[in-house]
C-alpha cells in the first residue's frame, strides 16, 4: 500500500463530477487500499477518490476510529432512502482545520458495488450516515464548506 497526496480546496478535481466505475480490477482494489491507508494516516473517517486526484465514483469509509475495523469500500454508491434530518459539526481532509455545521439525513440506505463486484446495500445512521453523505457529495464535486453553517477554524470532529 502507499500513501497518496490529499488534494485540498481550490484544486479543480474537487469540483468535478466523477464518472462511474466500469471495470473492477486489481488496479481499482489497490487504489481503494491506498485510499484507506491515506485516510487512516490522516485520522479520517472517510475519503473519496477525487480527494486523491481520481475522478471516479468510489469512496472508503470507516467510522471505527479506534480499531479501524468497520471499513466499507463503496463503488458507484447511490443513496436510495433517506429519513429524518440532523445537524452536526463536520470537517474534511481536503479542507484542513475547517469545521462547520451541516444538515444531513439521519438515516440512509446506500446501494453500491463491492470491491469484488457484488451488489450490496447498507443501512446507516449516526456518524456513518453523515460520513457516507459527505463522501457522496465529493463524488458530485461538492465540498462541505459550500453547504456548512458556522464555519470555524480548529479541530472539533472527525474529518472525512
Ligand atoms: Co471530505
Alpha carbon of residue 129 to chain centroid:
10
Ion ligand 1 contact residues with beta carbon within 5 A: 92, 160
Instruction: Identify the residue whose cell numbers are 463503496.
Output: 74
Residue 101 Cα, ligand 1 centroid: separation in angstroms? 14
Residue 95 Cα, ligand 1 centroid: separation in angstroms? 7
The domain that contains 73 carries what CATH number? 3.90.45.10
Question: pLDDT per residue over 28-66, tens digit each?
Answer: 999 999 999 999 999 999 999 999 999 999 999 999 999
Residue 160 Cα, ligand 1 centroid: separation in angstroms? 4
The answer to whether residue 75 sits within a structural domain is yes
Q: What is the dihedral of CA 38, 42, 45, 47, to 10 degrees?
A: -40
The answer to whether residue 95 sits within a structural domain is yes
Mean pLDDT (the chain, rounded): 96
Which position among 54, 90, 135, 159 bears the catalytic label? 135
How many degrees, rounded to 5, is the angle at CA 55 between CA 156 and CA 83? Answer: 55
The answer to whether residue 4 sits within a structural domain is no
pLDDT at 25 (0 to 100): 97
Residue 1 Cα, ligand 1 centroid: separation in angstroms? 21
pLDDT band at 156 (very low <50, low <70, confident <90, very high): low
Query: How much is the average pLDDT of 13-29?
Result: 98
The answer to whether residue 30 sits within a structural domain is yes
pLDDT band at 1 (very low <50, low <70, confident <90, very high): confident
The answer to whether residue 3 sits within a structural domain is no
The answer to whether residue 2 sits within a structural domain is no
71-85, 111-125, 144-158: the lowest-pLDDT one: 144-158
- Global pTM? 0.95
In this predicted structure, the answer to whether residue 158 has a pLDDT above a threshold of 90 is no
In this predicted structure, the answer to whether residue 146 has a pLDDT above a threshold of 90 is yes
Report d(CA 15, CA 9) in Å as an integer.
Answer: 9
What's the per-residue H, E or C state across the chain? Answer: CCCCCCCCCCCHHHHCCCECCCCCCHHHHHHHHHHHHHHHHCCECEEEHHHHCCCECEEEECCCCCCCCCCEEEEEEEEEEEECCEEEEEECCCCCCEEEEEEECCEEEEEEECCCCCEEEEEEEHHHHHHHHHHHHHHCCCCHHHCCEEEEECCCCCEC
Question: Which range of residues forms the domain containing residue 122?
Answer: 12-153
Q: What's the structural domain count of the chain?
A: 1
The answer to whether residue 1 sits within a structural domain is no
Q: Specify whether 37 is catalytic.
A: no
Q: Which residues pair with 75 in a beta bridge?
A: 58, 113
The answer to whether residue 160 sits within a structural domain is no
Residue 146 Cα, ligand 1 centroid: separation in angstroms? 11
* Size of the chain in residues: 160
Amino acid at each position: 500500500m502507499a500513501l497518496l497526496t490529499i488534494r485540498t480546496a481550490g484544486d479543480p478535481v474537487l469540483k468535478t463530477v466523477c464518472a462511474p466505475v466500469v471495470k473492477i480490477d486489481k488496479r481499482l482494489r489497490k487504489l481503494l487500499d491506498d485510499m484507506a491507508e491515506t485516510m487512516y494516516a490522516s485520522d479520517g473517517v472517510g475519503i473519496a477518490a477525487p480527494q486523491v486526484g481520481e475522478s471516479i465514483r468510489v469512496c472508503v469509509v470507516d467510522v471505527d476510529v479506534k480499531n479501524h475495523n468497520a471499513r466499507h469500500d463503496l463503488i458507484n454508491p447511490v443513496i436510495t432512502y433517506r429519513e429524518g434530518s440532523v445537524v452536526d459539526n463536520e470537517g474534511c481532509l481536503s479542507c484542513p482545520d475547517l469545521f462547520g455545521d451541516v444538515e444531513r439525513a439521519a438515516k440512509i440506505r446506500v446501494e453500491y458495488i463491492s470491491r469484488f463486484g457484488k451488489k450490496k446495500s447498507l443501512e446507516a445512521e449516526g456518524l456513518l450516515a453523515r460520513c457516507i453523505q459527505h463522501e457522496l457529495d465529493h463524488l458530485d464535486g461538492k465540498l462541505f464548506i459550500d453547504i456548512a453553517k458556522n464555519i470555524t477554524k480548529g479541530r472539533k470532529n472527525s474529518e472525512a
